[in-house]
Amino acid sequence: MSSTFALITGASKGLGQAMAVELAKKQYNLLLVARSEATLRELSATLTTTYGVQVAYLAIDLSLPEAPAQVERWVKEHAFPISILINNAGYAVWGTFAQKPLEDQLNMLQLNMQTVVALTYRLLPILGQQAKSYILNVASTAAYQAVPTLSGYAASKAFILSFTRGLRLELKSKNISVTCLSPGPINTNFLDRAGMDAIRATAEKFGTPPEPVAKAGLKAMFSGKPEVIPGTVNSLSAGATRFLPKALIEKVAGSLYNKFY
C-alpha cells in the first residue's frame, strides 16, 4: 500500500469516483473532495471496506473563491502526504452566451479554471516533498476547438490544456509529472448539470462509461505522458483540428448542439 495520498476533486460521482476506485485498487490512500457530504461519506466507507485503504473526505463547494485555501488548510492540518493531485471538478453551461445568466457562467469559469490554478499552486510544495508526484488535469475534447452553445466551457478547457502543457515544461526537471486528460462525452451527471436534457439521446449515443476513461487517464499519468485523449474517434477528431479549417470544425461541433440557433 502506498504511504501517500491521492487528492481528487469532483470525487463523489462520475469520472472522479471512477478514478477513486481505480486508485484504491492500486492501494493508494485517498482524499476525496466534492460538494455532497452524504455521497462522499458513503463512497469513503465503501472504498475503505473493499480495498483496505485510508480515505478522508472534505465536503466543500469548489466554485467558491476561498475553497482552494480551505482545502490547503485541511491538508496541512492533517499532514496528508499528497503524491497525486487530480483536478477533475468542473461542469458546463449549455446555451447561447447572451441567453444564459452571467452569474452561472462566471461560476463555471471559476471552478473550471481559477480553482484548478489556485489549488495546484497551493499544493505544489506538498507534492514536491514526495519522491515522485503526479498532477492530472481533466480538460475535454472541447478544448481543441470553439463550440457554439458551449462557448465558455470550451474556452475554459482550452485554458486547462494550455496551462497543463506550460506547467509540465516548468516542472520537467522536478519530481512532478503533469498530464492532461481530454475525454469526449462521458455518460455521467454532466448532462444534468449542464441542462442538456433536450439532446440527451444524442449525447448518450456518443458517450462512454467513466470507468475506461479513468483507466486511460491514470495509465497515461503514471506513464508520464503529456496528454491523453481516450477513444479512437475522439483522438482523430481532436487531431483533425490541426489540419482542417477552423470554420469547418466549429460548424460541425456546433451542429451537435443546434437547439439554440
- In the chain, the domains with their CATH numbers are 5-257 (3.40.50.720)
Query: Averaged in consecutive runs of 10 residues, what is the pLDDT profile of the chain (261 residues)?
Result: 92 97 98 97 98 98 98 98 98 94 97 98 97 97 91 97 98 96 82 53 65 97 96 54 52 55 46
Distance CA 58, CA 70 (A): 10
Task: Answer yes or no: pTM beyond 0.85.
Answer: yes
Residue 150 DSSP label: S
Q: Distance between alpha carbon 236 and the CA centroid of its chain, in Å?
A: 21
Distance CA 94, CA 213 (A): 23
- Runs of H (alpha helix) within 110-150: 115-127
Distance CA 67, CA 75 (A): 12
pLDDT of residue 208: 85
pLDDT of residue 2: 79
pLDDT of residue 233: 54
3-state secondary structure of 9: strand
